[in-house]
Amino acid sequence: MDNLTKSSLNFLTSSHLDRMADIRFKNHDINELINSPKARFIVVKNGENLLSDKDRADPISLKKEKLNGLTINSENCYLLGTKDNLIYFTLDLDLCDNEYLPDKTTEFLNLRKHKINEKKWTGSLLAYSNSLISWHQNHKFCGKCGSKTSPKELGQARYCTNENCGIPHYPRTDPAIIVVVTKGDKCLMARKPEWTEGLYSLIAGYVDHGESLEDTVVREVLEETSIKVQSVHYHSSQPWPFPYTLMAGFVAEAENEDIVIDPHELEEAKWMTREQIIEGLKKGTHKLPTSFSISHKLITDWFDQGECGKLADYLSID
């Protein structure tokens, strides 16, 4: 399986959205697009998304007439793109003059904590909209001169309002790595103290300046666990909108087995066989990352290559 296909299987990716770059630079009138019958709005409030309140919730996109007369403009609404003859926007309700009240079938929920319908391509719109709104909220002032910035290019940039500066700022993405480290038939699992009791995941960390992604894998694993890795192979990637990260997944082979954790980063790290993971899941003493995260995908792909069957068979997921 090629890397494009692997990445497309990760949740929050592969919307194949046309981001309409051709009109962004023409200073197109956003009001014309907003008032189009094709317009649909992904709304975000206090970092939470509007979702259906079912067990496996669906992302909600609204027509303009469903927004209760909210004032929508270039300051609070940003173009995402077009797909299937619809035009998608993200709307920051925290910047609207009136409050939006959801109906009885929908609710504002935390995307990271709630169980989302992973089969819906619109999940990628949530990642895109959350990241874009977070970036706008955190870049209201120019990093060069300190003056206020203003949204431009239909929300794909912010320009410094100081005429003596005027530089454009574009949405940033923070690159990070996450890696499944193996040694023989074992996988390196770790947990942070703030995580839910029993939850174990993989080593992850942000890329430093002057580093390749592979260099970051080597450094993060060594810093956090004292494990030296040798071969490093790219697996796939996933946008992670908390607040605007791109997770690059890797598989690496360890040189040594002795673990010494960095207590500032981890509470525990240990080698686990597939049999130990199964036992922990059955007893309820071991939990895995949410099924829409790339960490879950990396663990699953490693597990399924063994002789214990499919990881999904031991999990209570659809």
Q: For residue range 237-249, list pLDDT tens digits in order.
A: 999 999 999 999 9
Quickly state the pLDDT bin for 234 (edges 50, 70, 90): very high
**The residue count for the chain:** 318
Query: For the residues 142-163, what does the mean pLDDT come to?
Result: 96
pLDDT for residue 12: 86
Q: For residue range 61-80, list pLDDT tens digits in order.
A: 999 999 988 999 999 999 99
Quickly state the pLDDT bin for 102 (edges 50, 70, 90): confident
pLDDT for residue 316: 65
Q: What percent of the chain has pLDDT over 70?
A: 96
Query: For the residues 167-176, what does the mean pLDDT come to?
Result: 96
Please state the three-class secondary structure of the chain as a single string.
CCHHHHHHCCCCCCCCCECCHHHHCCCCCHHHHHCCCCEEEEEEECCEEEEECCCCECECCECHHHHCCCCCCCCCEEEEEEECCEEEEEEEHHHCCCCCCCCCCEEEECCCCCCECCCCCCHHHHHHHHHHHHHHHHCCECCCCCCEEEEEHHHCEEEECCCCCCCEECCCCEEEEEEEEEECCEEEEEECCCCCCCECECEEEECCCCCCHHHHHHHHHHHHHCCCEEEEEEEEEEEECCCCEEEEEEEEEECCCCCCCCCCCCCEEEEEEHHHHHHHHHHCCCECCCCCCHHHHHHHHHHHCCCCCCHHHHCCCC
pLDDT for residue 27: 63
Q: 6-10, 256-260, 263-267, 295-299 — which is least confidently predicted?
A: 6-10
Tell the burial category of 119 from Cβ atoms under 10 Å away from its Cβ (0-12, 13-18, 19+). exposed
Quickly state the pLDDT bin for 55 (edges 50, 70, 90): low
Distance of CA 252 to the CA centre of its chain: 22
pLDDT for residue 13: 86
Query: Which domains are delineated in the chain?
Result: 3-138 (3.90.79), 174-308 (3.90.79.10)
Residue 262 has pLDDT above 70, yes or no: yes
Q: How many angstroms separate the CA atoms of 148 and 150, rounded?
A: 7
Quickly state the pLDDT bin for 318 (edges 50, 70, 90): very low
pLDDT for residue 111: 82
pLDDT for residue 118: 62
Q: How many angstroms separate the CA atoms of 82 and 68, rounded?
A: 23
